[in-house]
Structure 1
Amino acid sequence: MKGEMDARQIFGIGKRFIGLILLMAFAGAVVAGVISYFFMTPLYQSTTQLLVSREAGETQELTEQNIKADLQLVNTYSSLIKSTAVLGKVSEQLPFTAPEEELRSQIKVDSAEDSQLIDITVIDSSQKNAVEIANATATIFQQEVKTLMNSNNVKILSPAVVNDDAIPVSPEPIFNIIVGLAVGFMFGIGAAFLLAYLDTSIKDEEDVRNLLGVPVLANIPPIDGVKEELASAKVGLQEKEA
């Protein structure tokens, strides 16, 4: 085991320790499943969608300049949503305790490229709280745009709603179990090679060749009855001496 191993030796180690490898793979999957189902808190996601449009009275002509202006507003508004001016008031308005920094970490603002739509996505351990945070953020942001930007061009296109059949976005038990299975399998292989490396006993002629680097000239099989004859002779000798 001290030298380089060929494919046959590697296969032999895997075959020899297959029970250990499968056991550790199974253990990894079980541990991942138990942690996913019993120790990880389910997280729910809710999204409110906003539309940034041109104000009434402004030209609605879709010129390149107007489109660029609208897209710049989307970028500005995306940053404004997570500002203290908005989240500070959201924190005060919510019926449950939600510090501003915590809200900032829960809220994700997305806008597709070249789109005037803004998605406010909230992740929380309570689906109801996630819905309230998303909608409160959208409403207060809409109000703040009127005050800070002197503009009324934000519309709530699709408010978040509570869904009784909502599935948590995290954890993902099946994915975690597969990862646990793979990790356990790899640890099992590592343990098998470590045990094989530490095992210096000679088991067959292949080990003799690998250890001494010389060919095996003969292989003497066990001779039936030799052990019994030796044991019988030893007993007879002891009786004679007695």
Structure 2
Amino acid sequence: MEKNRENDEITIDLSELFMALWHKAHIVVLAGIAAALLAFIATKLFMTPMYTSETQMYVLSKQDGNANVTYSDLQTGTQLTKDYMELVKTDPVLEKVISETGIDMTIDELKGHITVTTPTDTRITTIAVENEDPKKAKEIANSLRVAVGEQIVAIMAVDAVNTVAEASLPTHPSSPSTMKNTAIGGILGILIAIGVIVLIFVLDDTIKTPEDVEYYLQLNVLASLPIKEGTAKTKKSKGISRKSYAKSFGKRM
């Protein structure tokens, strides 16, 4: 019988679990606040603000000057835009940008700071450059637009690459987001606190109530001694583990 008791599956009373969480709600809230504050401080002190500058260009193909432009021509021009996007990050273009701007970056490092996008069904290409120096971000973006424009004209045999919008000087950091990081930190703190409380609740196998004695040991409780409210529990008054109680009871039997 003792072996069967030790191998019993762990059952969780959801109402007791909810009450355990409710009684520890202040700890959960404090953990969330502490984690949010830690994330806020880490974002402000240890993360470098990055600035993003964007420039836009439009590739003017040869058939654009023809009055008899067909839908097929427009589709072809839209598909070629993907080729233009790939040319932005080619080594010759980036080498020229590094040479002109004098930035201390390798080609691979510069690639990681460049984002190229094209809105659906358009031939307008947007080049975004991220840098810790807002002036450098603007300078690199404009230099990149000019360099890739020359490359497109030389390779794709187009008429011209027109500037839709020059890069502007960013005034606010694009990353990191202090509010976002603070919110994520607070949520993680709350989840971790809840997880620890649930883990402690699940691993706690002490017998606390007469119902526990009847359920786990299959014994009838004849009497119980309630602890006076406001009296601190001593080590002797704390519940013992179910396994220890079962072993002790087995020896007596």
Scaled by the length of structure 2, what TM-score is found?
0.77
The alpha carbon displacement at 1:194 in A equals 2.7
Partner of 2:79: 72
Q: Which amino acid aligns with 2:151?
A: E
Partners of 2:142 and 2:167 within 8 A in 1: yes
1:132 to 135, 139, 148: 139
Offset, 1:217: 4.5
Aligned to 1:234: none
**Aligned Cα RMSD in Å?**
2.5
Please identify, of 180-189 and 48-57, the stretch whose mean Cα deviation from structure 2 is larger: 48-57
Partner Cα distance (2:122, 2:130) in 1 = 23
Q: CA deviation at 1:150?
A: 3.6
Cα separation, partners in 2 of 1:61 and 1:171, compared to 1, 3 Å: same
Query: Shift of residue 70 of structure 1?
Result: 1.3
Matches within 5 A, 1:100-139: 100-139=107-146
Q: Is the 8 A contact 1:24 1:184 kept in 2?
A: yes
- Change in Cα spacing, 1:113 to 1:208, as seen in structure 2 (3 Å) is same
Q: Residue in 1 aligned with 2:192?
A: 187
Query: What amino acid maps onto 1:154 in structure 2?
Result: V
Residue from 54, 58, 67 that aligns with 2:61: 54
**Counterpart secondary structure, 2:127:** strand
For 1:156 and 1:143, the matched residues in 2 are separated by 12
- Show CA shifts across 1:16-54 (max 9, x none): 333332232222212211111111111111110001223
Instruction: For residue 145 of structure 1, report the CA deviation from its aligned partner.
Output: 2.5
2:93 aligns to what?
86
Taking only the aligned residue pairs, the percentage that are identical comes to: 28
Q: Name the SS for the 1:98 alignment partner.
A: coil
Which of residues 169, 173, 176 in structure 2 aligns to 1:171?
176
* Partner of residue 239, structure 1: none
Contact 2:87 2:151 in 1 (8 A): no
Query: For residue 95 of structure 1, what is the aligned residue in structure 2?
Result: 102
Query: CA distance change for structure 1 residues 12 and 63 in 2, over 3 Å: closer, same or farther?
Result: same
**Larger Rg: 1 or 2?**
1
Equivalences, count: 221
Contact 1:48 1:119 in 2 (8 A): yes
Change (3 A) 1:136 1:209: farther
Does the 8 A contact of 2:39 with 2:182 survive in 1?
Answer: yes
Q: TM-score, normalised by structure 1?
A: 0.80
Q: Secondary structure of the equivalent of 1:156? A: strand
